[in-house]
Structure 1
């Protein structure tokens, strides 16, 4: 299930809502059935075109998701809000139409004033991102930039572009459409320094614990009671204040020392709660083996998933065959690590450097091939 479906399914299962949903909305039911005649009749009889389910899905959302152009036009003509958002995720009808590659509905929504730059609340995904990953979505991918959508807009979770979404799923025609609108094939996702991120996360967790402790300390009901909703939000606000303060984060990292992240574990013969010289100094393995993560390009996404045609399309339009990820993994190495040997051969034919190694453990393409757990 894709992101859109997962979010909407969760909302439906949990019944998450700020207001009681209509017990039985004939307009919503008719829209779900795709019954345009019934929808027209209901609207003419005064049905509210903006009636919504408990999760915030309106009739227009449903029509957009299903690709029901006639129903979408009827709803728009009756005053349906083309910018309506779901309660979980902030998906608009344009998001759902784009994700379903329903180009005719996308055009109708755009003509009615849909927000082309709307992003979802959790990951900052645009309609173009969803169109780019959709099966047979190239027509929609072409339509959105035609109306001024920025092709290199990044989502908020990792900084991925629509081109990366298309490359990861092997949507070759969508890749070509995006590149024809000058999508940048060398953009990389955010590079994360794992050790520094752990330092920030540890401090954020500490701020949250301190805030909770302070609230309980000042409570007349004792220090072990559960916090109410308002108190939980107050504690989280203290944590968010730190995470949103670049000044505080930079001050924390100014004294950064990787050894501060070392975990001390007592040896088996050391009584719990007692300090001794007989302690084991350990650090989680991934800290030293990963170093940095992210830095993924569209080509690296295609290489990881083994999409040969997608990789070739990117290379034909300027993708750097030797551009590495945050940990120094080249497209060739990524292909080999994931068993994409046919793609690896194509990359070699295109001039990929077989001697590039990762930054931390120095893994080379040859080493990756020889390791039986990967090859």
Structure 2
């Protein structure tokens, strides 16, 4: 028996707009057919950043902007995770179709779901500042924790992005001292990755330097080397920030 064929998915993935148009004209229902990965053509078109094909697919009858694939990813999440904020035009289209910026995939038993990432986590991991601003402006919550108990702020601290840290704290109202499953705060993550400037920014925003992780370690204890540690201690002293 031959494996199932998904010509519209393939055309959407490869950016063949004339083929997509032809297939949709012949059978519009192909747009709502899922492949072996539980993905619709829209998921592939977004993943490969084929904006004209996205425009075609979102105009089909009964289009659901929040449809999830097997991993719980919506088209918006995929767009938010594209490099260099290349998904921003797609996000604008999806928002006009009333995509829900706060959809988050879950796993586990229905009675005890485990929260996972929302679009803000994906955008932060890729350092997509403009995407983050758009998401927050459209009420995407910066207070959602992923399966590791991390906020988008933890990710911003881990990559050392001061502009993103500022946006998440000031516009997103993210808690600055929230801990993940290992008891690590954003400050722990910033220092452990050697991002001294990001650590200082968090301290200025009210990060508590005396919070300990699940192993009893202060954030400053996680400095990867003496140079990073000295920079943080000296800069904090100069800024009038008390460290334990």
Task: Name the TM-score, length of structure 2 as normaliser.
Answer: 0.83
Unaligned 5+ runs, structure 2: 108-114
Residue deviations 1:100-158, cap 9 Å, x none? Answer: 241221221122122222212235111111111114x1111111111111111112x33
Task: Name the TM-score, length of structure 1 as normaliser.
Answer: 0.56
Residue in structure 2 matched with residue 29 of structure 1 by the alignment? 10
**CA distance in 2: counterparts of 1:52 and 1:96, whole angstroms:** 16
The number of residues matched between the two structures is 227
Using a 3 Å threshold, how does the CA distance of structure 1 residues 309 and 108 change in structure 2: closer, same or farther?
Answer: farther
Instruction: Specify which of 58, 82, 87 is matched with residue 65 of structure 2.
Output: 82
Instruction: Specify which of 120, 130, 134 is matched with residue 139 of structure 1.
Output: 130
Kindly indicate whether the alpha-carbon contact (under 8 Å) linking 1:65 and 1:96 is maintained by their aligned counterparts in 2.
Answer: yes
Residue deviations 1:54-111, cap 9 Å, x none? Answer: 0111111112222222211110001332221122x22111111112241221221122
1:89-104 matches, within 5 Å, as 89-100=71-82, 101=85, 102-104=87-89
Using a 3 Å threshold, how does the CA distance of structure 1 residues 344 and 104 change in structure 2: closer, same or farther?
Answer: same
Instruction: Specify which of 110, 115, 122 is matched with residue 130 of structure 1.
Output: 122
2:97 corresponds to 1:115: no
Kindly indicate whether the alpha-carbon contact (under 8 Å) linking 1:86 and 1:92 is maintained by their aligned counterparts in 2.
Answer: yes
CA RMSD of aligned residues (A): 2.4
Residue in structure 2 matched with residue 296 of structure 1 by the alignment? 184
**What is the DSSP-based 3-state SS (H/G/I as helix, E as strand, rest coil) of the residue aligned with 1:150?**
coil
Residue in structure 2 matched with residue 343 of structure 1 by the alignment? 228
Kindly indicate whether the alpha-carbon contact (under 8 Å) linking 2:43 and 2:74 is maintained by their aligned counterparts in 1.
Answer: yes
Deviation at 1:353, TM superposition (A): 6.7
Using a 3 Å threshold, how does the CA distance of structure 1 residues 353 and 146 change in structure 2: closer, same or farther?
Answer: closer
**What is the DSSP-based 3-state SS (H/G/I as helix, E as strand, rest coil) of the residue aligned with 2:31?**
coil
**What is the DSSP-based 3-state SS (H/G/I as helix, E as strand, rest coil) of the residue aligned with 1:117?**
coil
Deviation at 1:50, TM superposition (A): 1.7
Using a 3 Å threshold, how does the CA distance of structure 1 residues 37 and 348 change in structure 2: closer, same or farther?
Answer: same
Deviation at 1:163, TM superposition (A): 0.6
Residue in structure 2 matched with residue 151 of structure 1 by the alignment? 142
Unaligned 5+ runs, structure 1: 1-19, 191-293, 357-375
Residue deviations 1:251-293, cap 9 Å, x none? Answer: xxxxxxxxxxxxxxxxxxxxxxxxxxxxxxxxxxxxxxxxxxx
Residue in structure 2 matched with residue 46 of structure 1 by the alignment? 27
Larger Rg: 1
Residue in structure 1 matched with residue 199 of structure 2 by the alignment? 311
Using a 3 Å threshold, how does the CA distance of structure 1 residues 44 and 77 change in structure 2: closer, same or farther?
Answer: same
